Amino acid sequence: MNTKPLPIVHLFTDGACSGNPGPGGWGFVLRHLATGKEMEQSGGQANTTNNQMELMAVVRGLAALKKKCDVELFTDSVYVGKGLTEWMQKWKANGWKRREGGKLKPVKNEELWRRLDELASQHQLKYTRVAGHSGHPENERCDELAVEACQRYR
């Protein structure tokens, strides 16, 4: 069987919050590698957290894809990265609960994590951590988008 390779896309994301909780914003840049075509989006909320905005950026970026892709996610969020690579499988096995002090407690931001899990399962997803505010052009652009969106709610 001759299977066509999946389109390769890079997804760059960032979230921002003024206060935690407080007004927040998210932004992403999605780049199709073969064509160089790019899409940018951003948005925000009046009362949210930085972690929620980091998650929302990834959720919205993956949701923008119309078909299955080979996606490399670039984010400065250790929270998103560890959630995807270390924590989520355990949470799912525990009914979306996390261990804290020897007890199972609800996962924070469970709705966003569930949506991220659903979207990630539709693609081949690889996580790559970038250092925030280090001059990485796409990360800086996502930060600009997120901060601009956040400022609309201040």
Q: Which domains does the chain have, with CATH numbers?
A: 8-151 (3.30.420.10)
pLDDT for 110 equals 96
The list of the chain residues with pLDDT below 50 reads none
- Structure tokens given for 68: 């299955």
**pLDDT score at 129:** 95
What's the confidence (pLDDT) of residue 2? 59
User: Phi then psi for 144, rounded to 5 degrees?
Assistant: -60, -45
Q: pTM to 2 decimals? A: 0.95
User: What is the SS3 assignment for 136?
Assistant: coil
Positions marked active-site: 14-15, 54, 76, 133, 143
Residue 145 confidence (pLDDT):
97
DSSP label at 49? -
* Half-sphere exposure (Cβ direction) of 6: Cα atoms closer than 13 Å: 15
Q: Angle at the Cα of 65 (from 59 to 66), degrees rounded to 5?
A: 135
CA 85/CA 91 separation, integer angstroms: 12
